[in-house]
Chains A and B, each alone.
Chain A
């Protein structure tokens, strides 16, 4: 289980993950904010649609791709949370129809 050794210390910001409003420590990675709140599935596998989650946490596996503020394919381990950020598990697979990203 993912645990924080510093708890909710320091400045907090509000973000939304899969529709849930969360208070998280400002400046932490999107991945750690998700994982500490139980949102460990980042995306679906492109072919099988199986659940995937962060593997390397340093930007070389691309398993933690999520949607941030409407933009898909964002590496959750490299992005940092900021106030008002809206994060969603990415559901794009090979079977997805035309996808409209909000630009």
Chain B
């Protein structure tokens, strides 16, 4: 079995910057990602874009090319297409490559799981033709594929960015339905002063909104009561705006209202988590260097709380320094000296982050379903009504509800319904989400065939 000083899971900005720093320090590093090329979601395919004009995606995207290039030139053991399905607190990692399981051992483990879009459980969200706005960006970056005449609905910087990218590429858009609640503008106002320290970011955001408003695309603000129109395929979106009903036709509906940490890897090892009230999401509890409740396991980037691409890069560097210190490659003094720059840089961004978090806090009625027949668990098709029945039968926590109703038991393993279920139970119990908890998760973290498992038992994977 291959053995490394450190194994890093995920090659977004956090994973790549950590890998570079650790390899500079002289550690042997394995880096795993299920994607075929490094970059994570944010810098996906930046080094080999299928687009003729990738600059239309913006300078922030292109800026990832330097990090990807440095990473590709480094001497780390890079394992593309490696889908990790088990992380052990003994440092053992099982991962699947081309449906074959491989195994490695590490002394320190750094998980950089990144973020995923917060699910938006509105009526009709399981219909073909309803996707996330982030998926539109994924498809654009990796395969130069677009969805024409789609309705974009929701709130937040990523939504405005992808709409602007579509406009620049000349892809027709049926409409933009903004769900940012009116009261958010008031609530975020006190945070504006500290956000002004990142005035460049502020202008970038305003620029995106101006691009959208300048275009001829129908733009609706303060929308509520969203509902997908269509019986076997999305054909449009119904919504309310200031008491009036609207129905917009479109070939697809692309939803987005922010991102949450991608939890399953860290949850499966039983790392301590906290519910972050500013971001309304669970995150791994970490030290300033990213160390978790299990001392040789570290988490950096959006998985430890949403920080964005630059924040993730700094967090990756800090985690590498912490790990380097544990490995005896540098002492406390050296670590703290090198940590000063990334620490200062991430502290400088926190004011802007708090402002954005508050301004684009998702509308409560879009985070939790309101209609009885709305599906919560997409895999097992459990509706709000089904879950309430389960709660009324005595299932007060997510695991009990899972046992009773099968919510969270399907192939996505609660990735989609986890936050919704915790939120619903908190609402029904009239207690904080932090007290309600989250699903208990276990490996395998992906779908495995019995054949693949059996091969592992036979020791075939041990190279």
Q: Which A residues form the contact surface with B (CB < 8 A)?
A: 1-6, 25, 28-29, 32, 35-36, 40-41, 45-48, 50-63, 65, 71, 73, 77-78, 80, 101, 103
Looking at chain A's contact residues, the main secondary structure is loop
Name the residue of chain B whose CB is nearest to the CB of A48.
B381
Name the residue of chain A whose CB is nearest to the CB of B56.
A5
A61 touches B415 (CB 8 A): yes
A62 touches B149 (CB 8 A): no
Partner of A1, one of B116, B149, B449: B149
B116 touches A52 (CB 8 A): no
Name the residue of chain A whose CB is nearest to the CB of B129.
A53
Within 8 Å CB of A32, what residues of B?
A: 139, 142-143, 145
A56 touches B132 (CB 8 A): yes
Partner of B144, one of A5, A40, A77: A5
What is the distance, in angstroms, from B135's C-beta to the closest C-beta of chain A? Answer: 4
* In the complex, the 5 A-B pairs of residues with the closest C-beta atoms, listed nearest first: A53-B128, A57-B135, A62-B411, A32-B143, A6-B144
Within 8 Å CB of B41, what residues of A?
A: 58
Q: Which B residues form the contact surface with A (CB < 8 A)?
A: 34, 36, 41, 50-52, 83, 99, 116-117, 126, 128-132, 134-135, 138-140, 142-149, 169, 171, 232-233, 251, 262, 378-381, 410-412, 415-416, 447, 449, 451
B52 touches A57 (CB 8 A): no
A86 to B398, CA, bound (A): 39
A46 to B407, CA, bound (A): 12
B34 touches A59 (CB 8 A): yes
Partner of A62, one of B99, B262, B379, B451: B379
A54 to B83, CA, bound (A): 19
What is the distance, in angstroms, from A51's C-beta to the closest C-beta of chain B? Answer: 5
Which residue among B116, B128, B146 has the maximum number of chain A CB atoms within 10 Å of its CB?
B128
B379 touches A46 (CB 8 A): yes
Name the residue of chain A whose CB is nearest to the CB of B262.
A60
What is the distance, in angstroms, from A73's C-beta to the closest C-beta of chain B? Answer: 4
A57 touches B138 (CB 8 A): yes
Within 8 Å CB of B83, what residues of A?
A: 78
A60 touches B145 (CB 8 A): no
What is the distance, in angstroms, from B44's C-beta to the closest C-beta of chain A? Answer: 9
What is the distance, in angstroms, from B461's C-beta to the closest C-beta of chain A? Answer: 17
Within 8 Å CB of A60, what residues of B?
A: 116, 262, 412, 415-416
Partner of B145, one of A2, A50, A59, A80: A2
